[in-house]
Chain A
Amino acid sequence: MKLSLPVKLLGAAALVALLACVPMVADSYRLSLAISLLNYTVLATAWALFSGPTRYVSLATVAFFGIGAYTVAVLGEVLAWPLVLLIALGIGTVVALIVGLATLRLSGVYFVIFTFGLAELVRQLVTWFEVNITRTLGRYVFLDITTDQIYWQLLGLTVLVFVAGILIRRSRLGLALRVIGDDEMVARHIGINTTAAKVALFVLSASFMTVCGAIMAPRWTYIDPAIAFNPVTSFQVLIMALLGGVHRLYGPLLGVVPLTLLFEFLLANFPNHFSILIGIAFMLIVYAIPNGVAGLAEKLLKRQKKESAP
């Protein structure tokens, strides 16, 4: 069944309008759950935007998320909100550009190792700066932003991530990235500037994560480097995207919904064994569903089609 473009657009607009009504009907618990879902949707989709086509596994999600959150903690009370978001975006972009230029020329494994420690590195630098220069460790975030507004901002960001994903897929950049993911050597031989393509997408993906962190910051009243740069976030995002499947734009969403609910449940009921359970969940996903739910569903659909064909 192929839908025409206007129908698709109309459907998407209706869905977004429907989602925008959530704060009016949901109680505070459901709203905070919805915010979690949107938060991880943005992060996992942005992660897959870069890691899906290039197959570079990035473990730096929380580095950018934390940069966004910390920018709000420092500047939130001094400047107007849109300006704070812009500054966070700027810082995240610059950091991503530096990291991308320095590491994306290297082979994939080195990139994993570097991003593995990046959040730790940024956390140490922020801590050092706060202790030595501003002499405060930990900040209070008192902003005039309601939970409803956070939800709407995240919804807007989610729409932007998906629009960006669709546009990239249809552009030359998207094609170039798929060639890189298949075989980087071939990509270079047919004249694709592989470094530029990878850096561009890495920066785009990181800027979404940064803004997401900035929007989420008012959810905490107190913030310190250990909270903002909590490495578990990077891992959770990675698992969600992998479970869902990274080769389709909607793929990560299929992982975000069940896992957000699962983590919520585990954290509420087994706080002491959370680490063990999240590890087991991770291994099960890697062993059982290597291509994610989206890949699995497509395989099943194909098989069904084959069987129904005469």
Chain B
Amino acid sequence: MFLEPLLTGITLGGMYALVAMGLTLQYGVARIMNLSYGEILVAAAFGVFWLFTAAGLNPLLGLAVVVPAALVISWLIYRILLLPLVRRAKTRDALEVDSILATFGLLFVVQGVMLVIFGGAYYSYSFLAIPVNVFGVTIAANRLLALAFAAVIGLGLYLGLTRTRAGTALRAVAVDPVSAQLVAIDVRSAAAIAFALGGGLVASGGVLVSMFLTFNANIGVVFTMKALIVVIMGGVGNMLGALVAGLILGLTETFVATWIDPGLTLAATYTIFLIILLVRPQGLFGRSGR
């Protein structure tokens, strides 16, 4: 009873890390606290579900359709809905509060649209649900595949952010938007790109999660909450922090569910969240002075 939850926990943690990386881009670079984040994940899951059941499209090919769509939609959301708030905000705190409230409304609209189309029922589809033996533990192939894809996407993002000029510019905005402007970085377009990238990441998370989890129109809030917790635990804007915190969360949930009680996973998550915040308010890898 140790290896199995360990493997499941790593898969789940990998998903959380991937999803949180997108949120840390949106919050760290674009300074938008996006409460409708999980809704994009669920929308992507429904999108790939629809492509798979209606058009017979392989979910991994669906990734190539859904993720670019999410990139474009997120970019539009930033340009149309959020830019007026950015212009209006006098301080960073004001923008944070305004973005929380606006994306809150967006959460309800997206959720409502999905409820009208799909209802409140749970959905899942069967894709590669073949048992595979890893180190003497049986695990479904779709989980392993999802984990592999999450690792590839995460690594690609990490390399893109650390090894390219554009990635460095994004990180510079995350560290200090005012100084970034001084070295000729267009902060607003960087913010729009980061917001779009975040949307693409969470959509890829949604596609991968839909391969092995059941989902419904109301579940987005849960993912938003967990992504936020991971981002804050890891330190805002820190990719490595998101990875470590995501794994911690995934492992904690799985072990609490198998060893103690599945009904207490959220309580465990919150306890860890609170402890980390009280001991290190800046997050595990965050810089102090925030």
- Chain A residues within CB distance 8 Å of chain B: 55, 57, 102-103, 105-110, 112-114, 116-117, 120-121, 124-125, 127-128, 131-132, 231, 235, 238, 242, 272-283, 286-287, 290
Return the chain B residue nearest A109 by Cβ: B96
Residues in B with CB closer than 8 Å to A114 are 273-274
Which of B63-71, B146-154, B237-245, B259-267 faces chain A? Answer: B259-267
Which of B81, B100, B112, B225 is the one whose CB lies under 8 Å from A120? B225
Q: Say yes or no: A102-B267 contact (C-beta < 8 A), given A109-B33, A274-B112, A282-B101.
A: no
With A110-B277, A117-B270, A279-B112 given, can you name 4 additional A-B contacts, CB distance below 8 Å?
A: A57-B97, A105-B281, A108-B96, A125-B264
The smallest C-beta distance from A42 to any residue of chain B, in angstroms, reads 22
Contact of B97 among A55, A280, A283 (CB under 8 A): A55
Chain A, residue nearest B111 (CB): A275
Contact with A along B266-281 (1 / 0, CB 8 A): 1100100110011001
Q: Is the pair B261, A128 in contact by a Cβ cutoff of 8 Å?
A: yes
**Inter-chain contacts of B222 with A (CB < 8 A):** 120
Report A-chain residues with C-beta under 8 Å of the C-beta of B41.
none
Q: Flag if B35 contacts A128 (CB, 8 Å).
A: no
Q: Separation in Å of the A90 CB from the closest CB of chain B? A: 22
- Size bracket of the B interface: 35 or more
Contacts A116-B228, A128-B264 given; does A287 touch B84 at CB 8 Å: yes
| A286/B266 in contact, CB under 8 A | no
Q: A113-B229, A274-B112, A283-B105 are in contact. Are A120 and B281 (CB under 8 A)?
A: no
A25 to B249, CA, bound (A): 57
A282 to B108, CA, bound (A): 9
Alpha-carbon distance between A142 and B221 when the two chains are bound, in angstroms: 34
A102 to B277, CA, bound (A): 9
Q: Which residues of B contact A279 (CB under 8 A)?
A: 105-112
How many inter-chain contacts with C-beta < 8 Å in the A-B complex?
111
- Closest-by-CB residue of A relative to B97 is A57
Question: Is A273 a contact of B116 with CB atoms below 8 Å?
Answer: yes
Chain A residue at minimum C-beta to C-beta distance from B278: A102
CB < 8 Å neighbour of A275 from B85, B96, B108: B108
A interface footprint on B88-130 (CB within 8 Å = 1, 0 otherwise):
1000010011101110111111111101100000000000000
Contact of A286 among B93, B101, B113, B290 (CB under 8 A): B101
Dominant SS among interface residues on chain A:
helix
Contact with A along B224-266 (1 / 0, CB 8 A): 0100110010000000000000000000000000000101101
CB nearest neighbor in B for A127: B263
Chain A residues whose C-beta falls within 8 Å of the C-beta of B277 in the assembled complex? 103, 106, 110
Of B84, B116, B266, which one neighbours A117 at CB under 8 angstroms?
A: B266
Give the distance in Å from the alpha carbon of A102 to the alpha carbon of B270 in the complex.
12
* Chain A residues whose C-beta falls within 8 Å of the C-beta of B33 in the assembled complex: 109, 112
Known: A231-B221, A276-B108. A121 touches B115 (CB 8 A): no
Contacts of A286 in B (CB 8 A): 98, 101-102, 105
* Residues of chain B lying within 8 A (CB to CB) of residue A282: 101, 104-105, 108
Instruction: Give the CA-CA distance A6 to B13 in the complex, in Å.
Output: 64
